[in-house]
Chains A and B, each alone.
Chain A
């Protein structure tokens, strides 16, 4: 068991390092358009959509630093996001899991 957990952990580290490859994919995702993109498509932004879309401002929206358009910034932010995501998801479930686990 411990051995395979170690290799999975190594795999996660490799995935975090390679994550910026995900930045190479430029394009839109169906149903995840920005208000500007919707406006381009339809000529208007649906009222409810416009209202709700500004409900929440995420600190690292789109896995990027706010107001940093540089490529180095994008790559750094992406890797940092990966580290944060893995640390928070993994850490939280590890901590809670250990508390509730039997034997």
Chain B
């Protein structure tokens, strides 16, 4: 899902820089206003986790490869705005040092994987969890579904960005200048791979880590609401 240099034309990549700069600024503001000392190791590990989980390339039938992003579990643990910063740091390093994702496409890649994905995941998780207690199995399912859908959503966005290139940029000779495949090819290709394969990986990774947190220490999970629920759920156990 890391768009390399050359696949997006200047209109698209410039537009994403214009979108991302204020988003990074705002996310940074929120982080410096809200970050507590005890959350710092989690923030650091979220970026590290995102970096390393994306190295686990998985093959699928048809000769294609892909990977999970970790964006859903990160959003559930540190919240969507902190996720913007954590995943962006991983993506920028991947682009600069490892050539995974283009330099011009950094903003687009960050929008897809560090903004759209964590926000999508966080709100699906919240919505699907409802008022269930923090240790309920319903929340494990909610986390898994959030992982599955948010990865597919990020993939669909990437497919859309790819697919509009032939519409935006065609040379005088009628040949495409950047990504050559239109929406009718790029969207299905990106969505299908992630719906049929990598989405399940993201779902499993999210559910495993989430249920581990449920069993060990739910106080790290983002949001006051979940903390209130935890206290409620702990009461019967302590009496």
Contacts and interface: CB of A to CB of B under 8 A. Distances in A.
Interface of A: 1, 3-5, 7-9, 11-12, 15-16, 18-19, 21-32, 38, 42, 44, 46-53, 55-63, 78, 81-82, 84-94, 97-98, 100-103
A12 B189 contact: no
A75 to B, nearest CB: 12
Contacts of B63: 27-28
Nearest to A23: B57
Nearest to B176: A46
Interface stretch (B100-108, B123-131, B133-141, B142-150): B100-108
Contacts of A25: 57-59, 65
A11 B97 CA distance: 24
A59 B98 CA distance: 7
Interface in B55-71: 55-59, 63-67
Interface string B79-120: 000000110011001111111101110000000000000000
Contact of B177 (A30, A47, A59, A101): A47
A24 to B, nearest CB: 7
A1 B178 contact: no
Q: How large is the interface on B (under 10, 10 to 19, 20 to 34, 35 or more residues)?
A: 35 or more
Given A8-B42, A19-B52, A48-B6, 20 more contacts: A12-B48, A21-B56, A22-B55, A27-B65, A30-B190, A31-B189, A46-B178, A50-B6, A51-B6, A55-B102, A56-B102, A60-B99, A81-B55, A82-B52, A85-B93, A86-B52, A89-B48, A94-B41, A98-B40, A102-B37
A62 B158 CA distance: 20
Chain B contact surface mostly: helix
Contact of A89 (B41, B51, B175, B176): B51
A25 B54 CA distance: 13
16 contacts: A7-B216, A22-B67, A23-B57, A28-B63, A32-B3, A49-B7, A57-B99, A62-B99, A63-B55, A81-B98, A85-B94, A88-B97, A90-B45, A93-B89, A102-B37, A103-B36
A52 B6 contact: yes
Nearest to B10: A48
Contacts, number: 213
A7 B212 CA distance: 10
B156 interface: no
A72 to B, nearest CB: 18
Nearest to B56: A22
B98 A31 contact: no
